Amino acid sequence: MSEGAPVAGPDGALRCPWALSAEDYVSYHDEEWGRPVHGDDALFERISLEAFQSGLSWITILRRRPGFRSAFAGFRIEKIAAFTDEDRERLLADPGIIRNRAKIDATLANARVLADWAEGELDELIWSHAPDPAARPVPKTLADIPAVTPQSTALSKTLKKRGLRFVGPTTAYALMQACGLVNDHLEACVARTAGS
């Protein structure tokens, strides 16, 4: 078996190898990752969580996602845009999230920027950067999956130009993977066609 190839789980089904590296990953991999996500608040949550993940493992964020959702008012853009200095201090002291000042400030600033956008504008902007699936080779191993693509670089530039922070090309590509703009489940993975 080549390195980074799909691995059989306890149920015998082949999955992307990262999905079996921690118990919490299996349902996330099978039911969420790579499935299309729409809606401004839902996409804002994914942008925010991907930013918090920067420099950390995704499992750290996944295990704290309930805490993030509670601390950040369910990632409702309008509510977060109205957060005060007291809310910021509360977030900096909240052990249920990653207490990184720059990432918290970026999330608050991004909400304030997005609160001025028209409803559906974030969704439309992000999905306008989805590549043509027919033009992408199906990955057979993890080595076939890039960390950055021309589309993620373009998405990053557009989001930054529009005022968003912590949205570099690698973070933008992770967002594209998580939200189904690209399908990076490996060719033999049980989840590759399950949600399409």
Q: What does R_g of the chain's alpha carbons equal in angstroms?
A: 17
Give the pLDDT confidence of 94-152 residue by residue, as tens digits: 999 999 999 999 999 999 999 999 999 999 999 999 999 999 999 999 999 999 999 99
In the annotation, is 28 catalytic?
Answer: yes
Domains of the chain: residue spans and CATH: 40-179 (1.10.340.30)
Backbone angles phi, psi at 147, to 5 degrees: -95, -25
Which one of 18, 28, 117, 127 is the catalytic residue? Answer: 28
pTM of the prediction? 0.94
Tokens read off for 106: 């970026």
- Please name the amino acid found at residue 186: L
Using an 8 Å Cβ cutoff, are 122 and 110 in contact?
Answer: no
Known binding-site residue numbers for Zn(2+): 16, 29, 185, 189
Give the pLDDT confidence of 44-62 residue by residue, as tens digits: 999 999 999 999 999 999 9
Q: What is the 3 state secondary structure string of 84-144?
A: CHHHHHHHHCCCCCCCCHHHHHHHHHHHHHHCCCCCCHHHHHHHCCCCCHHHCCCCCCHHH
pLDDT computed for residue 16 by the predictor? 97
Which one of 25, 33, 45, 58 is the catalytic residue? Answer: 58
Name the residue among 90, 163, 73 with its Cα closest to residue 121.
163
Tokens read off for 108: 């608050």
CA distances from 48 to 37, 53, 80, 167, 184 (A): 14, 9, 12, 9, 21
- Provide the pLDDT confidence category of residue 88 given band limits of 50, 70 and 90: very high
In the annotation, is 50 catalytic?
Answer: yes
Which one of 25, 45, 50, 173 is the catalytic residue? Answer: 50
